[in-house]
């Protein structure tokens, strides 16, 4: 089986989608440029031309409206923001126009736009380059919101998103870009409404989004050495949320941690826990825990960032507390390292 990296899987999805449908247009600042959005659009302009692989003015708001206009002409635009943070310049067009376009004209028009936005983390990305705003978009009826974690899903879900008639917002974590995985060469689709059980276990359910799935799997691996079997679920789709898969797991383990890349307060984890409790108030044997960003802006200095961004150690600590494990000190020691914590691995040397 062929293994390629996450960013290569996205590139392949773009290539195959544009080949299959002449109406697909990719636009964003630097999309046809020399680095091609961290390699995901690199060289596409040579095959598909500058009218379909479209560079644009630094006008996020205006160009989102332009993309919506393109749908009236029959095109299927994919708009890319190199950081989630930049999309905040486009909020009127995204929230007031695109998300409501189908509804507010009585279903007469669709807005089949894909928004790809990249979550930054580490290397001092700081307050305006590392926000993870999936909860914002999940709060707006009309958007589908997805967060592919694996290279396989990155390709299949992007292909599905481009074919979808709804506007789809895709959050891609920058720390996933160099992670490889098995990816079939031919085009394929992955449903946009299903969570995936990444690891089966009976002791505790760890529900995670995007990069936090990798941290959860790392935590689960260490825990399993001490006899604790975690069930790890990759949510994949924030809207619509596959609560049934999560419910089934928690019904089995009776213990729950939700680990999200975004701010904890008023976030994805709150929604998941609320829905579960609304379904069954006696579902949990112990208190659930939420892991995510603390309620302050993202700091730049590595010393502050280390405290700010959660990692597997935090998940292990939460498991120890929930299950009242005696091995807490040993586990925490084993899970921690003295390396810099502001890069996913040593291959990242900044500045990205």
What residues act catalytically?
60, 129
Applying CB under 8 A, which of residues 10, 37, 70, 235 lies at the interface with another protein? 70
Residue 79 interacting with another protein (CB under 8 A): no
Query: What mask of x and - would describe binding to another protein in positions 104 to 123, judged by CB under 8 A?
Result: xxxxxxx-------------
Q: Distances from the Cα of 316 to the Cαs of 82, 94, 138, 226, 235, in angstroms?
A: 32, 38, 28, 11, 19
Applying CB under 8 A, which of residues 30, 33, 66, 332 lies at the interface with another protein? 66
Q: Distances from the Cα of 341 to the Cαs of 9, 145, 295, in angstroms?
A: 26, 28, 20
Burial 95-127 (b: 16+ CB within 10 A, else e): bebbbbbbeeeeeeeebbbbbbbbbbbbbbbbe
Please check whether residue 77 is in contact with residue 90, taking contact to mean a CB–CB distance below 8 angstroms. Answer: no
Residue 92 interacting with another protein (CB under 8 A): yes
Residue 145 interacting with another protein (CB under 8 A): no
Residue 96 interacting with another protein (CB under 8 A): yes
Q: Which is closer to another protein, CB of 39 or CB of 62?
A: 62
Applying CB under 8 A, which of residues 31, 44, 63, 78 lies at the interface with another protein? 63
Q: Which residues pair with 3 in a beta bridge?
A: 182
CA distance 168 to 190: 14
Residue 191 interacting with another protein (CB under 8 A): no
Applying CB under 8 A, which of residues 1, 2, 34, 73 lies at the interface with another protein? 73
Task: Provide, rounded to whole angstroms, the least separation between the CB of residue 3 and another protein.
Answer: 31
Query: What mask of x and - would describe binding to another protein in positions 297 to 316, judged by CB under 8 A?
Result: --------------------
Task: Provide, rounded to whole angstroms, the least separation between the CB of residue 166 and another protein.
Answer: 5
CA distance 222 to 219: 5
CA distance 317 to 333: 11
Residue 144 interacting with another protein (CB under 8 A): yes
**Region from 89-97, 151-159, 315-323, 334-342 binding another protein, contact rule CB under 8 A:** 89-97
Q: In what order do the strands lie in the sheet with 237-239?
A: 53-54, 24-27, 76-81, 114-119, 168-173, 144-146, 237-239
12-51 residues in contact with another protein (CB under 8 A) are: 22, 25, 49, 51
Residue 103 interacting with another protein (CB under 8 A): yes
CA distance 235 to 213: 9
Please check whether residue 342 is in contact with residue 300, taking contact to mean a CB–CB distance below 8 angstroms. Answer: no
Residue 120: closest CA among 265, 301, 261, 234? 261
Applying CB under 8 A, which of residues 33, 39, 43, 65 lies at the interface with another protein? 65
Applying CB under 8 A, which of residues 128, 165, 274, 285 lies at the interface with another protein? 165
Q: Which residues bind another protein (CB under 8 A)?
A: 22, 25, 49, 51-52, 56-57, 59, 61-73, 75, 92-93, 96-97, 102-110, 141-142, 144, 163-166
């Amino acid at each position: 089986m062929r293994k390629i990296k996450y960013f290569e899987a996205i590139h392949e999805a773009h290539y195959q989608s544009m080949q299959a449908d002449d109406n697909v247009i990719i636009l964003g600042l630097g999309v046809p440029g020399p680095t091609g959005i961290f390699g995901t659009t690199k060289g596409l302009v040579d095959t598909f031309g500058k009218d379909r692989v479209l560079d644009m003015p630094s006008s996020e708001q205006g160009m989102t409206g332009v993309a919506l206009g393109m749908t009236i002409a029959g095109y299927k635009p994919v708009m890319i923001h190199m950081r989630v943070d930049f999309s905040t310049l486009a909020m009127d067009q995204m929230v007031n126009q695109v998300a409501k376009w189908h509804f507010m004209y009585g279903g007469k028009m669709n807005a089949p736009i894909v928004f790809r936005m990249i979550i930054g983390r580490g290397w001092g990305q700081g307050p305006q380059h590392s926000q993870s705003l999936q909860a914002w978009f999940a709060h707006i009826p009309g958007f589908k919101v997805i967060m592919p974690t694996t290279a396989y899903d990155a390709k299949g879900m992007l292909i599905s998103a481009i074919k979808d008639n709804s506007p789809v917002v895709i959050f891609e974590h920058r720390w996933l870009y160099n992670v490889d995985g098995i990816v079939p060469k031919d085009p394929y689709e992955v449903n946009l409404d299903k969570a995936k059980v990444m690891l089966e276990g009976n002791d505790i359910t760890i529900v995670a989004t995007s990069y936090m799935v990798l941290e959860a799997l790392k935590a689960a691996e260490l825990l399993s050495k001490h006899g604790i079997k975690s069930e790890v679920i990759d949510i994949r789709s924030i809207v619509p949320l596959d609560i049934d898969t999560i419910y089934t797991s928690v019904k089995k383990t009776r213990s729950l941690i939700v680990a999200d890349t975004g701010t904890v307060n008023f976030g994805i984890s709150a929604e998941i826990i609320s829905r579960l409790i609304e379904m069954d108030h006696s579902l949990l044997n112990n208190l659930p825990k939420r892991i995510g960003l603390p309620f302050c802006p993202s700091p730049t200095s590595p010393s502050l960032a280390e405290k700010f961004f959660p990692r597997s150690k935090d998940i292990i600590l939460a498991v120890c507390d929930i299950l009242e494990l005696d091995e807490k000190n040993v586990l925490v020691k084993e899970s921690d390292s003295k390396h810099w914590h502001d890069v996913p691995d040593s291959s990242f040397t900044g500045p990205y």
